[in-house]
Amino acid sequence: MIALAAPLVIDGTGVPFGGAPGASFGGTPGIPLPGSDVAVVIDGDSIVKIVETGELAALEKQGCEVLRFPGCTVMPGYVNCHCHLVMPGDGTSVEDAMKPTDSVLLLRAARNAEKALRSGVTTLADLGGRNDVVFILRDAIAEGVVSGPELIACGRPITITGGHCWVFGGQADTDAEITKLCRVLLRDGAGLLKVMGTGGGTRGTNPLQPQFTTDQLRLAACEAHRQNRPAFVHCSTSEVATMCLDAGVDTIVHGHFNTPQGELRFSPEIADRAADAGVYWNPTLYVNRVIVERLAASAVDAEGKARYRDRAVKYQAQAQNVMRLSEHGVNLVAGSDEGWGWNAFGGFANELKAMVDAGISTAKVIESATLKAAKALRVDGTVGTFDPGKLADAVVVRGNPLEDASAFGAVEAVFLKGRRVV
């Protein structure tokens, strides 16, 4: 007899995409097809198996509790591989957002983590916070003091003096300083290392200019790999993307293919290298798309309309480049960059919909937000699919994402380690 805590059930409405236990997207085991007649069996905090819904009556006779969600789709809990929990996501600059004390930032981060969980994110990677704030939050979530997803944190992102996100406290310039900072972060429990390979949205930094050398990127990657941690690099140019590949970096963040002159020019050579090396690529579409949406809403005069048109053209080029990355076989991973700019927490579905709208197949998008993201974070042994023995993390959404991408955000229930939390 199966000791069942809370199986999740898809009632089979919508388009039937098979129905056999284990039926999956693109050959990915453990991710059932939306609309298929399957249920997920949970015992305690773990997945037992995927069964056909025809077996549920027998399970109920055994004393199992069956939770039915008519018209819904059940998926592995979302894995968001990019956020900034200390940021408010309300358009505040990083400099102004860091004016409060660490205590206030901790409360802000806790609120944001709960919003992320309610949006279906059960595993969340923070790619940059101030000092030890996110480490403290991670420990508080693990202790059950506050509610939030399983949290993987880099702590302070590594940047040059006065570089992108220097206000987070992770400045290092020389090889020795970089090495020491990497080791301190890993000692304190960093689940990954994040390096700012170019400037970005911090005042006085240049997003078209490298901040470190290839050897320094390699140094950080090697320090991460010594402790079986991945190395993520913020990158907005083709030059630095090439440096990342040369340095053995695991995940390229943003990767907009900018030339030194700021022209977006896709590089098939870089895409092929990334695909061949198995590098992960986190495109962060919605953090840019939301700017276009806001400009469109406020474009009332000629100047405003011109700003909207310019930004819309740029965004379309970015989205097209992401589609081309997919066509070249690059491992895309979903990470929303929530908290940054106008990208508020609780909107992970916006990132997934932006990827679908860019032309990525919904099946690939689901995989990018589950198994692929889990692999990028090196936690695919415990989350990312419904394989037996993995943690019982799940999101239930109304409707079928294969038919309508807006279903990604129609969250009906969230389960974290077998417990219904939303």
Residue 270 confidence (pLDDT): 98
Asked if residues 372 and 333 have their Cβ atoms less than 8 Å apart, the reply is: yes
- Distance, CA of 194 to CA of 159 (rounded, Å): 9
- The C-alpha atoms of residue 388 and residue 412 are separated, in whole angstroms, by 24
Q: What percent of the chain has pLDDT over 90?
A: 78
Calculate the average pLDDT of the chain: 91
Q: Does pLDDT of 317 surpass 90?
A: yes
pLDDT for the residue numbered 30: 60
Are domains 8-77+384-420 and 78-346 of this chain identical in fold?
no
Distance, CA of 39 to CA of 11 (rounded, Å): 8
Q: What is the pLDDT of residues 385-404, one digit of tens each?
A: 988 899 999 999 998 898 89
- Exposure letters 344-367 (e unless 16+ CB within 10 A, then b): bbbbbbbbbbbbbebebebbbbbb
Tell me what the mean pLDDT of segment 346-373 comes to: 96
- 23 three-state secondary structure: coil
For range 138-143, the mean pLDDT: 97
Q: What is the DSSP string of 285-342?
A: -HHHHHHHHHHHHH--SHHHHHHHHHHHHHHHHHHHHHHHHHHTT-EE-----BTSTT
> Does residue 5 carry a pLDDT above 60?
no
Q: Pull the structure tokens for residue 321.
A: 């480049």
d(CA 238, CA 148): 36
The whole-number pLDDT of residue 422 equals: 87
For 163, residues 6+ apart whose C-beta sits below 8 A from its C-beta are 171, 196, 199, 202, 205, 211
d(CA 329, CA 322): 11
Average confidence (pLDDT) over 186-191 = 97
Determine the pLDDT at residue 147.
97
**Tokens of residue 143, six digits:** 């202790």
Q: Looking at the predicted structure, is the pLDDT value of residue 286 above 80?
A: yes
Q: Where are the domains of the chain?
A: 8-77+384-420, 78-346
To which CATH superfamily is domain 78-346 assigned? Metal-dependent hydrolases (3.20.20.140)
pLDDT tens sequence across 201-239: 999 999 999 999 999 999 999 999 999 999 999 999 999
Q: Residue 90 pLDDT more than 50?
A: yes
pTM: 0.93
CATH code for the structural domain at 8-77+384-420: 2.30.40.10
Give the model's pLDDT for residue 13: 30
CA 305 → CA 151, 224, 299, distances in Å?
Answer: 40, 46, 5
Q: For residue 29, what pLDDT band results from cuts at 50, 70 and 90? A: low
- Count of CB atoms within 10 A of residue 278's CB? 11
Phi, psi of 125 (to 5 degrees): -105, 125
